[in-house]
Structure 1
Amino acid sequence: MIKYILQDKKFVFLLFLINLFGTIYGFYWYKSQLSITPDIFLIFVPDSPTASLFFTIFLLFFLFGRNIPYIEALAIITLFKYGTWAVVMNLLTLIVEGSLGWQGYMLMASHAGMAIQGLLYAPFYKIKIRHIVVASIWTLHNDVIDYVFGMMPTYSSLANYMNEIGYFTFWLSMLSIFIAYWLTIEQKRKRLDYPRQA
């Protein structure tokens, strides 16, 4: 039933529009940070909207029955990573400050949705090891840019915890890569091996 819904063109188009407008809003949300970011780092700063952009591109191709595995690998890894990351950062903000505005709860809900949607479409990706490798390099390189060169998203109340957040983010990246590998390569390998064992 779920697989049927995920393939329904009306549903896919609706999801495409939601992600498209969410991506545009995400880049707008970063405008103040982007205005003071050196040009060489611009592509690495807006983490969440870039992740949703990858997924938006995937959905566009998916509507026409086509696959783009490198984009798919980037989408599943970065959607889960930054979706989860934003939820955790807003929870930490709530703990540190003792309260969280409605925008924080909205961000938590939307980013949780980001993380989940990328995983739901895993059965439809045509990802191979080389696609995971390239997406992993992008993801880990982004961590270096964020926490070595100081280009991470700004959460003023969490500024004193950047070392801990950077450490957490690295391992979240590793978890995201493993989940992407498990859902797109290992599970398909198991399904292919199953008839041979039967």
Structure 2
Amino acid sequence: MSIRTRAGAVVDRGRALLESDVPREDLPRYVAPLPEPLENLGLNLAWLIVAVNLAGTAFGFYYYRIQFARTPVEMWAFVPDSPLATLLIALALAAWKLDRQQEWLTALAFYGNIVLGGWTVYVHLAFWPAFTETAINPAMRQFLIWSHAAMVLQAFLLHRIGDFRPRAVGVATLWYAVNATVDYLVPVRGDPHHTIIPLRDDAPVGLGADALGVAGAGAFALLVVSIYLAMLTHVEKRRSRQGPDSLGG
């Protein structure tokens, strides 16, 4: 095989990765912000994304080891926020690849990656000076910020494999509403179970708010965003399938 033939084969394989037989509705950018070729690449590399997220889950559980030690066992389900989100999207994509796609699992993965991915970026920015004074390695800090930003991006792949039906959205809303409540408002057992932040919960940070309030505000705001995006995606997918006037214009 000549060099030109080999190069052509490589180009063809690369082009094939940017194409997909998975249907894609004509959705507005505010619910499907990723370019279609990038979505197709993600779908074609779904097993790789599953593996990366499982590796992230394993690292995340290790990262939370100190917080697990401080938390009553019965509350452990509310501790590993981001690792649970990466596990959920790994399971959602794996289930889809195995033709066992579950709407509730896809919705949970969507919420988790937006809420927890976005929250981590948010708190690192909101508490930037405080994080700078901690012992966390700067390279690790950058890794945490960018890997969690990637979690938000991968959430927008899920509209290709799920419809975000109301029942599934209800399941995801219930779980993450309970999770946020336990993390910031009613811990049930022990202290609030949110991911450790670089300030005491009652440390003042400005505008009359303490650190817990700032962290919690971000979590609840992102939960609202997730609910809105999930329901809007469902509506826009129905509109795309049935025509622009099918839902009242």
Q: Same fold (TM over 0.5)?
A: yes
- 1:89 corresponds to 2:126: no
* Root mean square deviation of aligned Cα: 1.9
Structure ranking higher in helix proportion: 1
The equivalent residue for 1:144 is 181
- The structure-2 alpha-carbon separation of the partners of 1:97 and 1:48, relative to structure 1 and needing over 3 Å to count, comes to closer
Q: Is the 8 A contact 2:114 2:226 kept in 1?
A: yes
- 1:65 corresponds to 2:65: no
Query: CA offset at residue 165 of structure 1?
Result: 1.9
Larger radius of gyration: 2
- 1:6 corresponds to 2:55: no
User: 1:1-198 alignment to 2 at 5 Å?
Assistant: 1=18, 2=37, 3-8=39-44, 11-96=45-130, 101-148=138-185, 149=187, 150-157=192-199, 159=201, 160=203, 161-183=211-233, 185-194=234-243
Q: Is the 8 A contact 1:143 1:166 kept in 2?
A: yes
Write the deviation string for residues 35-81 of structure 1: whole angstroms up to 9, x where unpaired. Answer: 11112210011110001111010121122233111110100011111
**Runs of 4+ displaced beyond 6 Å:** none
Query: CA offset at residue 98 of structure 1?
Result: 5.0
Return 5+ residue gaps in structure 2 as ranges: 1-17, 19-36, 204-210
Alpha-carbon distance between aligned partners in 2 of 1:86 and 1:78, rounded to the nearest angstrom: 12
- The structure-2 alpha-carbon separation of the partners of 1:4 and 1:165, relative to structure 1 and needing over 3 Å to count, comes to closer
Alpha-carbon distance between aligned partners in 2 of 1:172 and 1:95, rounded to the nearest angstrom: 23
Alpha-carbon distance between aligned partners in 2 of 1:125 and 1:119, rounded to the nearest angstrom: 11
Which residue identity lines up with residue 133 of structure 1 in the other structure? G
User: What TM-score, normalized to structure 2?
Assistant: 0.72
Which residue identity lines up with residue 127 of structure 1 in the other structure? F
Write the deviation string for residues 113-166 of structure 1: whole angstroms up to 9, x where unpaired. Answer: 111101122121143100101110101110111012111111123632112221
Q: Give the SS at the match of 2:153.
A: helix
Identity %, equivalent residues: 27
Alpha-carbon distance between aligned partners in 1 of 2:174 and 2:110, rounded to the nearest angstrom: 14
- The structure-2 alpha-carbon separation of the partners of 1:129 and 1:145, relative to structure 1 and needing over 3 Å to count, comes to same
Deviates more, 1:167-176 or 1:80-89: 167-176
Alpha-carbon distance between aligned partners in 1 of 2:176 and 2:245, rounded to the nearest angstrom: 36
